[in-house]
C-alpha cells in the first residue's frame, strides 16, 4: 500500500566490453529496434514520469522492446536507474536494494524454487524475516486458501501445471503483503482459456489484497480489463497515460490508435475541412460533420483545414444506403457479429456488423456503402501522427 512516483526515469544499457570499439570501427550497428543508440549505449527507457496512487492498478503495455519490463525491473530494483528519481511511499529508493523496497514481483516464467515445496516457496521470504513459525503458517495457509492451492502445499513445483505454478508465484508474492505488487507478463505462458480464467482471478485478487499493482503486458485485452489506468509505451517513451476508456476513445496518436482495440482501427487518407467553428472530414467525396465536442477541441487548438489521417474503429462503421462504396473481400462470421474485410480503392479495412442488424449475410464480392458518425472519427496529423484534438 504505497504511492509510487517515477520522475524522468531513464535507462541506458551501456556497451559490454569490446562492443563500443566494434561500433566505432564498423560504423553504426545494425538496429534491431527503434531504441535510441548513443555513445553511452542503448537507451531503453527515457523521460518516464508517472504518479501511481496508493492501491491503483497500473498496466504498462506496448510491443516487445518498448521498455515496459525494463521500467518494471527498475521499480523492483533489479535494474539500475541511469537517471531520474523513483519514490516508493515518499522515500527515494534509487539506490535501495530490492529486498529493502518492500515490494513483491511475479515473473513471467514463475521463477519458483524447484527444490522447495509449494509451502516452502511461499514461506521463504517470511522465514528470512525471522517471523514466528505460527505466523508464517497462518499467512501461507491464508494465501493458499485465497488462491485455492491448499491441496498442493506439499508438492514440488515440477508436479504442478502451468496455471497452478502461476498461482503459487502469486501466492509467494501476496504472503508478504508488499507495499507494491509487480507483475511481469504473468499470464503470457498460459494457454488462452487459462489466461482468461487467471485474468478474472487477478481481478478478484484485488479485492483481497489492498495494494498498489504495476502490471506489464503486451496484451491489450489484459491491459483494458485489469488496469485502472494504462500506460502505453513505444521505443522507450510513454505514448499515452489514461483510463482504458480514455485511451480507447481518445487515442493520443496513431500508434495508440492502432495498438488499442481489436480489430485494429481503420485508417484512411482524408481531408479535414474547417468552416468557421465547424469541422468536417471528407473521404472520397463523402463529408461527415464532426461532433460538437470534437469541433470545440479542434477550434480551441486553432486547427486549420489540412490533409489528415482519419481513424475509425471497425465497430463504429455502419453499412448504409449512402456513403463510401467498398467491395467485400472476406466475410467472417463470429457468432454475435460478422467481420467484413472491405477494400475501397487501394485501402483495406474491417467493419464489424452485429448479426442482429443484418438482413441476410452479405456475400464476398458484393459492393456495399459505409458511413460513420462524427463523434467516432479521429483525425491525426500527417506530419507527426498526433491526434489533432490534443
Choice from 10, 37, 124, 264 touching other proteins (CB under 8 A)? 124
Choice from 43, 58, 75, 112 touching other proteins (CB under 8 A)? 112
14 binds other proteins (CB under 8 A): no
Choice from 5, 96, 111, 273 touching other proteins (CB under 8 A)? 111
Residue with cell 516464467: 109
- Rounded Cα distance between 128 and 86, Å, is 26
Segment contacting other proteins (CB under 8 A): 123-131, 142-150, 199-207, 309-317?
Answer: 123-131
CB of residue 80 to other proteins, shortest distance in Å: 13
160 binds other proteins (CB under 8 A): no
Choice from 21, 91, 129, 382 touching other proteins (CB under 8 A)? 129
128 binds other proteins (CB under 8 A): yes
Can you give the chain as a three-state secondary structure string? CCCEEEEEEEEEEECCCCHHHHHHHHCCCCCCCCCEECCCEEEEEEEEEEEECCCCEEEEECCCCCCHHHHHHHHHCCCCCCEEEEEECCEECCCCCHHHCCEEEECCCCCCCCCCCHHHHHHHHHHHCCCCHHHHHHHHHHHHHHHCCHHHCCCCHHHCCHHHHHHHHHHHHHCCCCCEEEEECCCCCCCHHHHHHHHHHHHHHHHHCCCEEEEEECCHHHHHHHCCEEEEEECCEEEEEECHHHHHHCCCEHHHHHHCCCCCCEEEEEEEEEECCEEEEEECCEEEECCHHHHHHHHHCCCCCEEEEEEECHHHEEEECCCEEEEEEEEEECCCEEEEEEEECCEEEEEEEEHHHCCCCCCCCCEEEEEECCCCCEEEECCCCEECCC
Interaction pattern, residues 171-210, with other proteins; x per rule: CB under 8 A: -x--------------------------------------
Please list, in sequence order, all residues whose beta carbon lies within 8 angstroms of the beta carbon of residue 45, skipping any fewer than 6 positions away: 9, 10, 11, 67, 70, 71, 74, 236
CB of residue 223 to other proteins, shortest distance in Å: 22
95 binds other proteins (CB under 8 A): no
17 binds other proteins (CB under 8 A): yes
Number of residues that bind other proteins (CB under 8 A): 25
Residue closer to other proteins, measured from CB, 105 or 205: 105
Choice from 99, 133, 278, 301 touching other proteins (CB under 8 A)? 99
336 binds other proteins (CB under 8 A): no
Choice from 33, 36, 94, 125 touching other proteins (CB under 8 A)? 125
CB of residue 96 to other proteins, shortest distance in Å: 12
In the Cβ-directed half-sphere of 130, how many Cα atoms lie within 13 Å?
A: 0
113 binds other proteins (CB under 8 A): yes
18 binds other proteins (CB under 8 A): yes
CB of residue 169 to other proteins, shortest distance in Å: 8
CB of residue 86 to other proteins, shortest distance in Å: 15
Residue closer to other proteins, measured from CB, 180 or 232: 180
Please list, in sequence order, all residues whose beta carbon lies within 8 angstroms of the beta carbon of residue 28, skipping any fewer than 6 positions away: 37
Residue closer to other proteins, measured from CB, 76 or 224: 76
Residue with cell 481489436: 262
Choice from 66, 72, 105, 140 touching other proteins (CB under 8 A)? 105
CB of residue 159 to other proteins, shortest distance in Å: 14
- Rounded Cα distance between 192 and 98, Å, is 32
76 binds other proteins (CB under 8 A): yes
- Rounded Cα distance between 233 and 215, Å, is 13
CB of residue 50 to other proteins, shortest distance in Å: 21
Segment contacting other proteins (CB under 8 A): 10-18, 242-250, 265-273, 343-351?
Answer: 10-18
CB of residue 20 to other proteins, shortest distance in Å: 12
- Which residues of the shown chain bind other proteins in the complex (CB under 8 A)? 16-18, 76-78, 97-99, 103-105, 107-109, 111-115, 124-125, 128-129, 172
Amino acid at each position: 500500500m504505497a504511492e509510487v512516483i517515477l520522475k524522468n526515469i531513464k535507462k541506458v544499457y551501456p556497451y559490454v566490453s569490446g562492443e563500443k570499439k566494434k561500433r566505432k570501427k564498423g560504423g553504426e550497428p545494425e538496429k534491431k529496434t527503434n531504441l535510441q543508440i548513443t555513445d553511452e549505449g542503448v537507451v531503453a527507457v527515457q523521460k518516464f514520469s508517472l504518479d501511481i496512487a496508493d492501491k491503483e492498478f497500473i498496466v504498462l503495455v506496448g510491443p516487445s522492446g518498448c521498455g515496459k519490463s525494463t521500467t518494471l525491473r527498475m521499480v523492483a530494483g533489479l535494474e539500475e536507474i541511469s537517471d531520474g528519481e523513483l519514490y516508493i511511499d515518499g522515500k527515494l529508493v534509487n539506490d535501495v536494494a530490492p529486498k529493502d523496497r518492500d515490494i513483491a514481483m511475479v515473473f513471467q516464467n514463475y521463477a519458483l524454487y524447484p527444490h522447495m515445496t509449494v509451502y516452502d516457496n511461499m514461506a521463504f521470504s517470511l522465514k528470512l524475516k525471522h517471523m514466528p513459525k505460527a505466523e508464517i503458517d497462518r499467512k501461507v495457509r491464508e494465501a493458499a486458501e485465497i488462491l485455492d492451492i491448499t491441496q498442493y502445499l506439499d508438492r514440488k513445483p515440477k508436479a504442478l501445471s502451468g496455471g497452478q505454478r502461476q498461482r503459487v508465484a502469486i501466492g509467494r508474492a501476496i504472503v508478504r503483503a508488499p507495499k507494491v505488487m509487480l507483475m511481469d507478463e504473468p499470464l503470457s505462458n498460459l494457454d488462452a482459456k487459462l489466461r482468461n480464467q487467471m485474468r478474472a482471478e487477478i481481478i478478484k485478487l484485488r479485492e483481497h489484497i489492498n495494494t498498489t499493482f504495476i502490471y506489464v503486458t503486451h496484451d491489450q485485452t489484459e491491459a483494458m480489463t485489469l488496469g485502472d489506468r494504462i500506460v502505453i509505451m513505444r521505443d522507450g517513451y510513454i505514448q499515452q497515460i489514461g483510463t482504458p476508456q480514455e485511451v480507447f476513445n481518445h487515442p493520443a496518436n496513431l500508434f495508440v490508435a492502432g495498438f488499442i482495440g481489436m480489430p485494429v482501427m481503420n485508417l484512411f487518407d482524408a481531408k479535414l475541412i474547417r468552416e468557421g467553428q465547424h469541422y468536417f472530414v471528407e473521404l472520397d467525396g463523402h463529408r461527415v460533420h464532426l461532433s460538437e465536442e470534437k469541433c470545440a477541441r479542434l477550434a480551441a487548438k486553432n486547427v486549420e483545414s489540412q490533409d489528415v489521417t482519419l481513424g475509425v474503429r471497425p465497430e463504429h462503421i455502419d453499412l448504409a444506403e449512402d456513403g463510401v462504396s467498398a467491395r467485400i473481400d472476406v466475410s467472417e462470421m463470429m457468432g454475435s457479429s460478422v467481420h467484413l474485410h472491405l477494400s475501397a480503392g487501394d485501402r483495406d479495412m474491417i467493419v464489424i456488423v452485429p448479426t442482429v442488424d443484418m438482413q441476410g449475410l452479405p456475400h464476398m464480392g458484393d459492393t456495399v456503402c459505409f458511413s460513420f458518425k462524427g463523434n467516432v472519427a479521429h483525425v491525426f496529423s500527417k506530419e507527426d501522427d498526433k491526434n489533432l484534438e490534443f
